[in-house]
Structures are given as structure tokens and as C-alpha cells.
Amino acid sequence: MKFFVDTADVTEIKELAATGLLDGVTTNPSLVAKAKRDFREIIAEICAAVPGPVSAEVAATDLDGMLKEGRTLARIAKNVAVKVPLTWDGLKACRALTGEGAMVNVTLCFSANQALLAAKAGATFISPFVGRLDDSGADGMELVREIRTIYDNFPELKTQILAASIRNVLHVKQAAMIGADVATVPPAVLRALVSHPLTDKGLELFLADWRKTGQRIV
């Protein structure tokens, strides 16, 4: 499973990219607003720091506006994935932009039927919002499971499942077990994946025993 980080903080992205574990980045208008910088400059800088897909979302809601903005975003860098909402106009924009060679991430997916339509429209990625479904009392991972089943039933559908609105490390594990192609996670969740109390305890014991030997490696 690929790891994308869900942030517009360029400094944080560069730090995580240096680990070699980062496969891409997702942004949205809310994350860009927090960054308080020019949107296109942020996207260009992220694209230069990360070789994988960088999702940049349109602000328009009508077809003509989405196409105009999507083409502008796609020209920033070859690894831009234009992010469009899962609406009728969004699906039309997805079809057109994909036909022009752009990667497209169809976002705000909350049902398997929506995911099927996005795949039919040629989406590169579909973004089911796991955490938001959980917040509403539904099971977000069940949606990821349903989408995986549908896409596997029809091999001609090449859309990748990008599990979004990830809130914790359990979500990441569940997404991987179900077979999501990508999980996009906040930086704090990505860092938390390495942590386990028994690892910390084991390391502490090993170091204590090593100190008793009085030796040095170099």
C-alpha cells in the first residue's frame, strides 16, 4: 500500500519525503488555508519535493470552471493530480481531464455507487472519506471494502482506492488489510505507525545490557 501525506505544510512534507517512505501528497482547500500562502506556489514546491502524485483541488463547482482550473493546476507539474468533487459536473470534468492525460482524484466519496461512477469516468484515484463516515455513525472501512469488491469484480476498472479522512493507526491497518491502494494520512498518524510500547521497552533493555559490557562499537 502506498502512503500519501495529507497536508500542505511544505517543511513537513520535505522532512517526511526524506525518509523514502512517502509516495505522494494530498491537499485540499482547508489545508491550503492553514498554510496561508499562494496556492499555486505551494503546489509547485510540493511537486518538486515529492516525485509521486500531488493532489490539488479545484475550487469551482461548475463544469467549465473545473475544467479551466483543472487545466491550470495540471500545468504546474507533471505529477499534479487534479482533485474534483464527486458531482455530475465533477465526473464530467474527470472524464475530460483524464482524456487530456491528467491524473484525477475524485474526492468526497461516501458510497460504493459513487465510486463505481468515478471509475467509469476514468478517475485515477477515488477518495472514500473513512473518518467522516465514522463520525456520522456509519462504518467508513466497510465502504472501502465494498469499493474493493466492486473494482476487483471488474478488472477493466483501473481506479486506485485512496483511503482518505484517516484518523488513526487502526484505520491504516484496516485499509491495508482490505486492499486499499493508497492511504493518505495526517503527518502525526504517519509518524505514529512506527511506535509501539514494547519496541521502546525492548530497546531500553538492550541498551541497558549493552552498557553493562563496557564496550563500544566505534
Q: Where are the alpha helices (DSSP H) in 50-165?
A: 63-74, 88-99, 112-120, 130-135, 140-153
Q: Output the CA torsion 106→109→113→116 (10° steps).
A: 30
Residue pair 147/128 in contact (Cβ under 8 Å)? The answer is yes
Give the three cell numbers for residue 182. Answer: 493508497
| C-alpha 122: how far from chain center | 18
Can you give the length of the chain in residues? Answer: 218
Residue pair 92/98 in contact (Cβ under 8 Å)? The answer is no
Which residue numbers are catalytic?
A: 83
Give the three cell numbers for residue 37. Answer: 500562502
